[in-house]
Chain A
Amino acid sequence: MEVLSKLMKDRFAMICIAFLVIVVLAGIFAPWIAPHSPIDVNVKEKLAGISTSYPLGADQLGRCIFSRLLYGVRTTVFIAFITMAVTVLIGTVLGAIAGVFRGKIDEIIMRVCDIFMSFPSEVMILAIIGMMGPGITNIVIASIIAKWAWYTRMIRSIVLKYTDKNYVQFARVSGFSRWHIFKKHIMPNTAGEIAVLATLDIGSVILMISALSFLGLGVQAPTPEWGMMLNEAKNVMIIRPELMLPPGIAILFVVAAFNFLGDSLQGAFNVKHGTKRR
């Protein structure tokens, strides 16, 4: 609760949260907000300029860019959320098991992580998509496979950092169960750090999904996706370069908002920030 109240006082964090909430709501309510269907081709309105019925103009196939942007939230941002949620879940469970129980199980999990981390993640993602074929589900699976090992490592090291603290040792001496210690001392402290990690990283997931779609490996046409909109705008770059702006700026703002929010969260979770030292 103190984290929340501290976050409320951080005006910049609140702006980021407000912006992200608006973006997510726009994605959820896209069918009601969007003036046109995002995939309907209308050759008559090809490359139409900004007007009341086309707030951001139309692309080379006459599709409403504003509508495509709104529907794009559903693919770009929501896929990033799902990827992040699953990755963090796997990382937390395995990292906590490795960090709390140590010994053999820790060894096994860490060696498997080593194997996964010995490949550059981009190469691994491309290889997985190459095998399974392009598509939304496949990029999600590929990014989870590429990322879980790093998260497991990070979360294990965070858990270890806290198990070495004297208050955990004291709790062990006074006879608390492992579960109690984990719940009371380790989990609350690590949860903050994991939240920061995930918020800072979700921006890079969005970028990765957009990059893969830009390369034609991710979301397939005609599904609207920001990276793919960039790719399509690239085709008419010479005559209408401004078509690249809406998806580009959307990616920039959402990624930046997540990064700033991650920074603010870091400050909010740190008890020592914002209180006077006596």
Chain B
Amino acid sequence: MLEVKSVYKSYSKTGISFRRGRVPVLDDVSFQINTGEWAALVGESGSGKSTLSRLVLGLEKADSGSLLLEGKDAAVWMKENRGQMSVVFQDYITSANPAFKVKDIIHESWKTAGGNKSIHETVESLMRKVGLPLEIKNRYPHELSGGQLQRVCIARAISTSPRFLVLDEAVSSLDVPVQAQILQLLHQLKAELDLTCLFIAHDLQTVAYLCDQIIFLNDGKIVEQIETKYLANAQSAYAKRLLEAVIRFKV
């Protein structure tokens, strides 16, 4: 489904100087996600994972290399398949227009997908699907809790029945118990919907539960791509280090 081929990306340093340097962010990144697969992109802060997600989403352009979706250039694919790509961001507070009610947030993107079902019914079924109480339909985003708002964002993301979903640290800024609930929801959605997903995260625990394969990104380079079930056999030093860093709870 998604094929990233030797992508480079760098940003120019800010400030006035005559020798303007560029900071490389992504360095020869290549990987592939098959249709229906959930892949996790794991890396520390500053490893370039957010940049990579912005490139995949078409919000920024790569310096060189190519991003292919179903064999087509990502920009072309997105034009031909409006609403087929969707995203859930880390920062749920700015993810929803503060002047929109919950129901308007959820049904906003239907126009592009050409949905013609009754808005009312579909909003309610989506809200039920993500486990939101129906009475918050007419509330504003600031009147919701973080977990509820992130559920609204997930409902919005799946409202166009997308084929490709990017979860950009979708659970990272939530409390741990709420994280667990959202992960459960995502797990359930994975079983119900026909989705290919790129899950960006910085800790292994969250993604090991959900994803079929894990891609390790360190300093803008892919250090290892491994299927989750073989995670224990990870070869690269970085992956091993991350595995050791996982806090084990004894119950």
Contact = CB atoms under 8 A, between A and B. Distances in A.
Say if A and B assemble together. yes
Interface of A: 165-167, 169-176, 180, 184-185, 188-189, 271-272, 275-278
Given A174-B86, A175-B112, A278-B143, A166 B99 contact: no
A173 B113 CA distance: 12
Interface in B75-117: 78-79, 82-83, 85-87, 89, 91, 94-99, 105, 108-109, 111-113
A170 B82 contact: no
7 contacts: A166-B95, A173-B57, A174-B112, A175-B83, A176-B109, A176-B111, A278-B139
Contacts of B108: 171, 184
Contact of B91 (A166, A172, A185): A166
B94 A165 contact: yes
Interface in B155-213: 156-157, 160
Interface residues of B, number: 33
Residue with the greatest number of chain B CB neighbours at <10 A, chosen from A165, A171, A174, A275 = A174
A93 B95 CA distance: 26
B140 A169 contact: no
A167 B94 contact: yes
Given A175-B82, A185-B97, A275 B140 contact: yes
A189 B99 contact: yes
Contacts of B58: 172-173
Interface in B98-148: 98-99, 105, 108-109, 111-113, 139-140, 142-145
A146 B76 CA distance: 46
A117 B101 CA distance: 40
B23 interface: no
B245 interface: no
B89 A276 contact: no
B99 A172 contact: no
Given A170-B156, A277-B142, A176 B112 contact: yes
B114 to A, nearest CB: 11
A226 to B, nearest CB: 39
A188 B104 CA distance: 15
A166 B89 CA distance: 7
B95 A175 contact: no
Contacts of B145: 278
A175 B79 CA distance: 7
A213 B157 CA distance: 59
Given A188-B99, A272-B98, A170 B142 contact: no
Interface in B192-247: none
Nearest to B110: A174
A170 B82 CA distance: 12
Contacts of B82: 174-175
Contacts of A276: 143
Contacts of B86: 173-174
Closest CB pairs A-B (n = 8): A175-B82, A166-B95, A174-B109, A166-B94, A166-B89, A175-B112, A165-B94, A167-B97
B59 interface: yes
Contacts of A185: 97
A216 to B, nearest CB: 45
Contact of B83 (A165, A166, A174, A180): A174
B97 A277 contact: no
A169 B59 contact: yes
A173 B99 contact: no
Given A165-B97, A173-B59, 7 more contacts: A167-B105, A170-B156, A175-B85, A184-B108, A189-B99, A271-B99, A271-B142
